[in-house]
Amino acid sequence: MASLIESCWLYLITHFSDFQLACLGSFFLHESIFFLSGIPFIYLERAGWLKKYKIQMKNNTPASQEKCIIRLLLYHFGVNLPVMLASYPVFRHMGMQSSLPFPSWNVILTQITFYFILEDFIFYWGHRILHTKWLYKHVHSVHHEYATPFGLTSEYAHPAEILFLGFATIIGPAITGPHLLTLWLWMVLRVLETVEAHCGYHFPWSLSNFLPLYGGADFHDYHHRLLYTKSGNYSSTFTYMDWVFGTDKGYRKLQALKNAGVENGGKQM
C-alpha cells in the first residue's frame, strides 16, 4: 500500500510543479472532498431517509439548497482559490515541500494534532467575536441563514468570515511549513469534520458518541437553533473551550434534561 501511494505521488511531483500541486491541487482536493461528502445529506433530507436520526424535523427547500450551492461556488472560486494562490509564497518560505520520501507518521500526526489544537483555540475566539451584535448583523448572520443546517452550509458564509475564520485553519500549516501530504491530510480531516458538524444528523456511529470532547452535529446544531445572543457552543472540532469558558451551559442543561427524560421513560416501562 505504501509503495502504491509513493508511486502515485511520484507521478504527481514529476508531472506537476509545486505551485500547481499546492494551489490548484489543493483546491481540487478541497472541492472534491467537500461536495462529495456534503451533497449526500441534501438527498437524505429530500428523500426522508434515515429520518429518525435527523436532529431537526424541519427541512430546507430545494430552492434554498440550490442557492447554497451556487453561492458556495462563487465563494470558493472568488475567495478560497485566490487565498490559496496568495498564501503559496508563505508556505514555501516556511519550508513546505512535496518531494519524497514522506515524513514519518509520527511527524505527520504530531503536526496535525497541533493544527487541531491551534485551530480550536483561534476558531473559538473568532467565532465568539462574530456573535457580537454588529459583526453578527453585518457578517455572521449570512452563515446563520440556515437555522436547519445541512453538510454544505458548513462553508456558506460572508466572504469576510471566510477570511476571518479561514485564518484559523491555515495558520498551523503556515507556521510549520509541512510536507504537502500532511497539508492535504489536514485539509481532508478538517473538511470532513465541518461537514459532519453541519450535516443535521446524529447517527449511532457519529464520532461524538465515541470520541471524548468531540463536538459533532448535535453540539453544533444547537448553536444554529438559538438566537445569536444566547447560542453558545462556539467551538470548532473539540468542545473544551466552551467547557472552560462556560459557553456550553445551555446545551449541557438540555442534554441533562433529555437524559433524565429517557431514564424516566425507561423506568415507567
pLDDT at position 229 is 65
Distance CA 41, CA 121 (A): 28
Q: Please report the pLDDT score of residue 261 as a whole number.
A: 73
In terms of Cβ atoms closer than 10 Å to its own Cβ (0-12, 13-18, 19+), residue 127 is buried
How many Å apart are CA 120 and CA 85, to the nearest integer? Answer: 25
How far is residue 41's CA from residue 49's CA, in Å, rounded to a whole number?
A: 10
pTM of the model: 0.94
Return the C-alpha cell found at 67.
Answer: 442557492
Does residue 51 carry a pLDDT above 50? yes
- What mean pLDDT do residues 188-217 have? 97
Segment 151-168 shows an average pLDDT of 96
The pLDDT of residue 269 is: 40
3-class SS of residue 269: coil
CA pair distance 205, 38, nearest whole angstrom: 17
Domain that holds residue 61: 2-268
DSSP label of 21: I
Report pLDDT digits (tens) over 65-88: 999 999 999 999 999 999 999 999
Q: What is the DSSP letter of 125?
A: H
Q: What total number of domains does the chain contain?
A: 1
Confidence of residue 124 (pLDDT cuts 50, 70, 90): very high
CA 7 to chain centre: 30
**Residue-wise DSSP of 82-96:** HHHHHHHHHHHHTT-
Lowest mean pLDDT among 1-10, 77-86, 99-108: 1-10
